[in-house]
Structure 1
Amino acid sequence: MQQLKTPKRIARTVLNALKGGVVPRIGLPYIAVGRKAEIDALLSDVEIVAEGGASFRFITGRYGSGKSFLLQTIRAYAMDRGFVVADADLSPERRLQGTKGQGLATYKELLQNLATKTMPEGGALTLILERWMAAVKAQLAQEDVLPGTPQYLPAAEAKILGAVAKLGEVVHGFEFSTLLVKYFRALTEGDDETRARVVKWLRGEYATRAEAKAELGISLIVTDDNWYDFIKILALFLKGAGYAGLLVLIDELVNLYKIPNSVSRQYNYEKILTIYNDALQGRARHLGIIMGGTPQAVEDRRRGLFSYEALRSRLASGRFSIEGRQDLMSPVIRLEPLSTEELLVLIEKLQKMHAELYGTEEKLDEKALAHFLELEYDREGAATLITPREIIRDFIEVLNLLMQHPGLTVDELLKSDDFTPASAALEVPGAAPAPAARRFTDFDL
C-alpha cells in the first residue's frame, strides 16, 4: 500500500518531536507500524465503552519501548470514533491522591487536555459545552419556543434537566446539572462572567467552597478526594451530548513508584483499585481508562502496584502466559519489542516523510536501511537495552546529516567513526555479551 503524503505542518511536528525523544500528539497514523494485536485489544475496549460499559487497562513497557506511542495512537483512533479523550502524565506534582492538591492537579491536567476530533490538541471543554447548548436551542426552535419569550428559559431548563436526568443517579450529579442550567441561562443572557465561572468550576479551579458558594451558589468544589466522581459524571454528560464516551489516558505511573513515603504510595494504589473496581463492576459507564508505566512500576512487589496485594491479585498474569504468548484481554498488556522487520518499515516511512518535507531525495536504499539497523544492534547490550526511541533518534540524525552535507555519502557516514549511535551510552560495563546482531541478509528484503 502506498504511503500517504504527510502535510508539511504534521511532518515537521512529527520529526521534531521524535528527534527530541518525545511522542507527537498528531500525525501518528502516518508512521504507525506493528502493535496490531495490542491496538485491536484496546479498540475492543473502546467498543465496550461506546456501548455503555467501562474498561480499565494497564500498558507496561520500559522507557522508549513505544508505550507512550501506543497510548497516543489509541488516542487518535478514539477521537476518530467520536470519543472525547483526556490525557495526563503523572509527576511529583500530579498524582491520583495527595494531601497537597496532587490529585486535583491531575484532574486539572485532564480537563485542560480534553480533546475531540475537531480540537485534537486539547482545550475542548468550552467547545463541548457550546455544542451541547446549541443542540438544546435547536430543539426549542423546532418546538417554536423562541428566545425572548416568557417560556423560553423555563422550557430550556426543563429540557436540560430532562436530558441529564441520569446524572441525578450518581454522586454530585445534581450539582453538575445545576451548573449546566446556569451556563445555558448565562449564554442566553450574554452573561460572560457567569459562563467563565462555570468553566472555572468544571476545571477544578475553585480553591474553597465559600468562594464557589458566593459566585455560583454551589457549596461543592472538585477536590483531591472527589475528582474521580466528576470524571464519571463527565463521561455520562458527554454521551448525552452526542459523543461516544470518554477515554482517559494516564502515563508515567513510575512517578507513583517513586513516592518515598510508603503510606502515600499505598493511598495512590488504593485510588487505582477504586477506579479499577468501578470500571469492572459496572459502576462507571461510557468511561475507558488506560494507564501506562514501566514493568518495574507495576510488578515490583516492594514499591510497585504489586506491593498492594489487592491490585497484585487482580493484575498478575496467570501461569499459562509466558513471554511471547500473553493474554491480550488481561488487565495488563506487556509490550513486546518491535521486530526488526517492523523497525525497517518504520525507518522507511520516516525517510519518505523527511524527503517530502525538505524536498530531498531518499538516499538510503533497503540495503542501507538494513545496514543502519545492523549498526544499531551491533554493540554490547543492545539486544536487551536498545529501544525504538534511540533507533529513531539516531536515524533522524542520519537523515539530517545527509541533507545538511550534500557531499556526504551514505557509505561514508555509516562507515565513519564519526557516527556514534546516541544510544551507545546504554552499554553496561561487565554485562554478558549480547547475541550476535542480525545482518541485513536476515531482514527478508
Structure 2
Amino acid sequence: MTDQITTAPRVPKRVAAVILNSLKGGVVPRIGLPYITVGREFEIQALLTDLSLISDGGASFRFLVGRYGAGKSFLLQTIRTHAMGEGFVVADADLSPERRLQGGQGQGLATYRELVRNLSTKTRPEGGALNLILDRWVQNLEAEDASREDMSKGDVSNGHVAGSTPAGTPIRAQFAAIEEMVHGYEFSRVLGIYRNAVSTGDEETKALAVKWLRGEYRTKTEARSELGVTAIIDDDTWYDYVKLLARFLTGAGYKGLLVLIDELVNLYKIPNAVTRQYNYEKILQMYNDTLQGKAHHLGIIMGGTPTSIEDRRRGVFSYEALRSRLTQGRFAREGMRDMLAPIIRLQPLTYEELLVLIEKIAQIHAGYFGYTCTLRDADLVEFLTIEFGRVGAETHLTPREVIRDFIELLDIMCQNPNTDLHELMASGTVGVADASAPSNTTPFAEFTI
C-alpha cells in the first residue's frame, strides 16, 4: 500500500467547490454526486426497480432508515439525480416544525408548496420546473391536435367523413382519466385555463393558474374572483393533488413523479400525541394508495432515523396500522436482507468503501486548489485506522464525520505545507492546526506529503 493514489476524472471547478463545501458542512451536495458515489449497490438497485414500476404506470412507497450521517440523505440525492436523468420529475422536501404531512395551521400545505417549488427535471435540476412542465404539456397537446387534424384531412381526401377518426388521442384520454380522480375536475379546469392563456398570450391568467397549482391561494373566494375556480389546494387535499400531478406528467412527456420526503424525525418530535397520529395516518394513506393501485406513475421515498420509525411510543411504529404493515418478517437477518421490503435499512459503509471515497475526495481537493496530490494508499489507510481507533467508533462513527475530518485534514495540510501529515494524525489533533507548525503566507500553495 505504498503506491500513490490513482488520478480521478477531472471535476469542473464549480462542481468541486460545491462538493467540498457541502461535505465539510455536513450536508449533501445537490450536484456532482456521481464523482463521489461509492457502495450502496443493493439499495440503489432496489430503488431503480421502483423507478421501472413507476414508469409502467404503477406506484411505490419506501422508507430509507439510517442514523444521522449514515448516508441516508446522500442516497436520496443519488436516486434523485438518476431519476431526473431517466426522464422522471422529482420533488423533494425536508420536514420541519413548519412543514408536516398534516397540520391545523397550514403545515401540510407548506410541505406541498415546498415540493412544487422543488419540482426538478433533467434540464432544470435546481428546481422551479413547474412552468417548464406546463409549457411542454401545452406543446405536446397542440402537436397532437395538429396531427389529428392532418389525419382528418386525409380521411376526407380518401372519401371518408371528416371526424370519423377516433377522438381518443393519448393526451386527451389521459385528461379524461384525470377528471375521474378525486379533485380531478378542478385540476383539469385549471390546466385548461392555462392552455387557453398560452393560446391567447394572456400572461396574467397564466400566472394565476400557476399560483393555484402552487397552492398559494388562501381562500376559495380569492380563487373564485381571480380564476373562476371554486376549489383550492389546502391541508386536507394536498396529497390528492400530488397524485393528480403525477398522472398529468406523462402527458408532458415524463415517466412519472418521484417524491422524496426527508427528516421524518420532525414528526417524531411533535409533542402532541393526537397531532402525531394524524401525520402517521397521512403516511398510512400514502402507503395504502401506492400499494393498492390507487396512485399511478408515483413513487414516494421517506427518510428517517431508526428511532423515528421504530419507537413504539412516538415513532411511526406507534401507529399500529403502520407497524403491522412495516414490521420485518421472520426470515430476514444480518447478511440476508429483503431489499423489496417497504423499509430499507442502511448498513454502514465498509472500510474498503470509505477508502475509495476519501481517495476520490483527495483528488477533487487537489484539482480544485491546483496542486498535485501525492497522498499514498498507505496514508489513507493510516487516516482511517486513526478514525476508527476512537473510543466508540464502531457504533457511533459515521461517514459524515469521517469525510468532514478528512477534508479538514486536507485543508490544514494545504494551508500549512510544511506540516508533517503523520505527526498531525498521530497527535490526535486532526482538525486542529498545530500552533507550532510553520505557516505559509500562500495558503493554498502546492505541498507534498
TM-score for the superposition, normalised by structure 2:
0.88
Aligned to 2:369: 358
Greater RCO (Cα-Cα under 8 Å, separation 6 or more): 2
CA-to-aligned-CA distance 1:6-52 (integer Å, 9 cap, x gap): 11111111110000000011111110000000000011011000001
1:114 paired residue among 85, 110, 119? 119
**Higher deviation after alignment, 6-15 or 58-67:** 6-15
Name the aligned partner's letter for residue 70 of structure 1: L
1:133 paired residue among 138, 161, 180? 138
For the residues of structure 2 that align with 1:324 and 1:261, how far apart are their CA atoms?
Answer: 38
Shift of 1:383: 0.9
**Secondary structure at 1:164's aligned position in 2?**
helix
Aligned to 1:71: 76
Shift of 1:363: 3.1
2:109 paired residue among 94, 104, 119? 104
Residue 377 (structure 1) aligned with residue 382 (structure 2): no
8 Å Cα contact 1:136-1:159 kept in structure 2: no
CA-to-aligned-CA distance 1:234-267 (integer Å, 9 cap, x gap): 0000012110100000000000000000000000
- 5+ residue gaps, structure 2, are 1-5, 151-168, 434-449
Name the aligned partner's letter for residue 277 of structure 2: Q
Aligned to 1:19: 24
Which protein has the larger Cα radius of gyration, Structure 1 or Structure 2? 2
2:250 paired residue among 229, 233, 239? 239
Residue 62 (structure 1) aligned with residue 103 (structure 2): no
2:418 paired residue among 399, 407, 412? 407
1:174 paired residue among 185, 194, 197? 185
- Residues 419-434 of structure 1 aligned to structure 2 (within 5 Å): 419=430
Shift of 1:382: 1.0
8 Å Cα contact 1:363-1:410 kept in structure 2: no
8 Å Cα contact 2:140-2:251 kept in structure 1: no
Aligned to 1:395: 406
Aligned to 1:263: 274
Name the aligned partner's letter for residue 321 of structure 1: A
Name the aligned partner's letter for residue 202 of structure 1: L
For the residues of structure 2 that align with 1:34 and 1:139, how far apart are their CA atoms?
Answer: 44
Residue 292 (structure 1) aligned with residue 303 (structure 2): yes
1:190 paired residue among 161, 182, 201? 201
Name the aligned partner's letter for residue 274 of structure 1: Q
Aligned to 1:442: none
Aligned to 1:82: 87
For the residues of structure 2 that align with 1:358 and 1:421, how far apart are their CA atoms?
Answer: 20
8 Å Cα contact 1:161-1:177 kept in structure 2: no
**Secondary structure at 1:65's aligned position in 2?**
coil
Shift of 1:420: 5.1
**Higher deviation after alignment, 411-420 or 113-122:** 411-420
For the residues of structure 2 that align with 1:99 and 1:325, how far apart are their CA atoms?
Answer: 43
Name the aligned partner's letter for residue 123 of structure 1: G
**Secondary structure at 2:190's aligned position in 1?**
helix
2:317 paired residue among 290, 306, 312? 306
For the residues of structure 1 that align with 2:181 and 2:250, how far apart are their CA atoms?
Answer: 15
**Secondary structure at 2:122's aligned position in 1?**
coil
Aligned residues: 411
- Residues 223-234 of structure 1 aligned to structure 2 (within 5 Å): 223-234=234-245
**Secondary structure at 1:82's aligned position in 2?**
coil
**Secondary structure at 1:86's aligned position in 2?**
strand
Percent of aligned pairs sharing the same letter = 61
Against the structure 1 CA distance between its residues 128 and 49, is the aligned structure 2 distance closer, same or farther, given a 3 Å change threshold?
same
Aligned to 1:7: 12
8 Å Cα contact 1:99-1:224 kept in structure 2: yes
For the residues of structure 1 that align with 2:389 and 2:9, how far apart are their CA atoms?
Answer: 33
- 5+ residue gaps, structure 1, are 146-157, 423-445
8 Å Cα contact 2:50-2:299 kept in structure 1: yes
Name the aligned partner's letter for residue 354 of structure 2: L
**Higher deviation after alignment, 249-258 or 315-324:** 315-324
Residue 52 (structure 1) aligned with residue 63 (structure 2): no
Supply the RMSD in Å over aligned alpha carbons.
1.9
Shift of 1:136: 2.6
For the residues of structure 2 that align with 1:326 and 1:163, how far apart are their CA atoms?
Answer: 39
Residue 208 (structure 1) aligned with residue 219 (structure 2): yes
**Secondary structure at 1:87's aligned position in 2?**
strand
**Higher deviation after alignment, 186-195 or 401-410:** 401-410
Name the aligned partner's letter for residue 276 of structure 2: R
